[in-house]
Amino acid sequence: MTERPMTGHLIDRMPACRGRLTADAPLAPVTWFRVGGPAEVMFRPADPEDLAGFLAALPHDVPVTVIGVASNLLVRDGGIPGVTIRLGRGFTDIVAEGDTLTVGAAALDLNVATVARDAGIAGLEFLSGIPGTIGGALRMNGGAYGREMADALVSAQAVGRDGAMLSFTREEMGFTYRHAAVPEGCVFTGATLRGELGNALEIARRMTEIADKRADSQPIRSRTGGSTFKNPDGHKAWELIDKAGCRGLSIGDAQVSEKHCNFLINQGAASAADLEALGDEVRRRVFETSGVTLEWEIKRVGVPATGDAR
């Protein structure tokens, strides 16, 4: 299915597919920050085979960006050039068998944790504390509350930029802190996770503890993008930000959360440029006061709006 605009648009160069192609697709409504420009072309593949065929035939000069539920993503105000891929229903299955789960990359982390709980599979409760999808957790070795994907992954499946079907073992993923050493052009399609057989009631209790801790310590009801910066070696990002006097700091409607100062929030009318400028100002102040350079954990994609120098 293709939604076509005027002749001459990039969408006219797109290969045939069974999924959905949309020109100039709005992205702000699907991002947690509620900011950002449109995707030049949005592709929603029907299944992994559709994705593979599309990428194999896609002209090599067309850039590809992959997004999930955009919970840890900042889309710049000028939007995302090229093709933006967003996986949907064909990638959300979750199947439990024994102590393992076979999951699609578009499955929500919370849903995976819930299926594991119901199947009596322990060790995956940490996923309930990550507000994203399995694909995002694979890409950044997502973790929370003492565990991360590297502790649970058996293997991951992906499609390469050339359309090749790929599979990676946990070792081949090259996991480090909030990073996986696989080619940027790979699009994850699914994974096999392993926990250990446990008691469903105890697993449920642990998930409730995680939910309560998140609600108590994070601005989960605000327009935010999750943890903004990675924890530097030997430090906690929020402590460095607090010591630099940045708690509550704002630029326009972009603000450093008063509740957890490693979170940026959109108080209403912030632009992506406001949020990024605020993050860079936090980084500047932290370096000035501590000598530590904070690295962005939030993924920033796209281009600035025309005329925006930032």
Q: Which residues form the catalytic set?
A: 178, 227, 297
Q: Are 116 and 75 in contact (CB under 8 A)?
A: no
Q: What angle do CA 40, 45, 48 make, to 5 degrees?
A: 135
DSSP annotation of 119: T
Q: Are 42 and 25 in contact (CB under 8 A)?
A: yes
CA distance 304 to 310: 7
122 phi, psi to nearest 5 deg = -90, 160
Write the CA distances from 171 to 142, 144, 263, integer angstroms. 16, 20, 31
Write the CA distances from 34 to 105, 142, 145, 259, 295, integer angstroms. 23, 22, 27, 20, 23
Distance of CA 307 to the CA centre of its chain: 28
With residue 215 as reference, give the H or E element that holds it: helix 200-217
Residue 97: exposure state from Cβ atoms within 10 A (0-12, 13-18, ≥19): exposed
Q: Are 138 and 153 in contact (CB under 8 A)?
A: yes
Residue 11 token pair: 């969408």
